[in-house]
């Protein structure tokens, strides 16, 4: 049992998995300045037990007092053979313009997951709160 737990944790928390997990909140901005109304797209892959591809469009809604408000919309498509995951994620991010770090975020997900044996729909909401310095 201990070996199984160790293997599972290694699958979930290896270097590539951690990069994949943090990509949507650490590597948001394009390599140029942005202003209200600007939009751009970033693609990334989430691995692990339920792999999926995310294609996210970010749109600057406002820049005020050193904070950038972004609206996001991500299309999620399958990235693996065993489980097919697809759906959409939308949200709002508040980002510190100096550091690029997410200060707060709200999101909604509408996802479908299917395997050969079963399928399910998952609708979730989430909030992340931090502080800007």
Alpha-carbon distances of 9 from 3, 13, 20, 45, rounded to whole Å: 10, 6, 15, 19
Q: State how far the Cα of 72 lies from the Cα of 100, in Å rounded to an integer.
A: 15
Please, what sign has the CA dihedral across residues 20, 76, 92, 30? positive
Residue 54 exposure: Cα atoms within 13 Å on the Cβ side? 25
If 0-12 CB within 10 Å is exposed, 13-18 middle and 19+ buried, where does residue 70 land?
A: buried
* DSSP labels, 101-133: -EEEEEEEEEEEEE-SS-EEEEEEEEEEE----
Joined tokens for residue 81 = 């053979």
Full-model pTM:
0.78
* Tens of pLDDT, residues 6-25: 665 556 556 666 566 666 66
Give the residue, 25 or 65, on which the prediction is more confident. 65
* Tens of pLDDT, residues 72-127: 999 999 887 777 889 999 999 999 988 888 899 999 999 998 888 888 998 999 99
Beta-sheet strand order (sheet of 39-46): 39-46, 52-64, 67-78, 84-96, 102-114, 119-129
Q: Tokens 């650490």 map to which residue?
A: 26
């Amino acid at each position: 049992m201990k070996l199984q737990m160790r293997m599972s944790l290694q699958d979930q928390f290896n270097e590539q998995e951690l990069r994949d997990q943090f990509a949507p909140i650490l590597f948001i901005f394009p390599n140029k300045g942005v202003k209200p109304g600007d939009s751009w797209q970033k693609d990334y892959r989430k691995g692990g037990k339920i792999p999926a591809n995310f294609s996210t469009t970010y749109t600057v809604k406002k820049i005020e007092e050193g904070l950038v408000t972004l609206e996001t919309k991500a299309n999620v498509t399958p990235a693996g053979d065993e489980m097919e995951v697809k759906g959409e994620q939308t949200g709002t991010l508040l980002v510190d313009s100096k550091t690029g770090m997410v200060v707060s975020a709200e999101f909604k997900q509408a996802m479908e997951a299917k395997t050969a044996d079963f399928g399910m729909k998952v609708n979730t909401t989430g909030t992340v709160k931090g502080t800007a310095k």
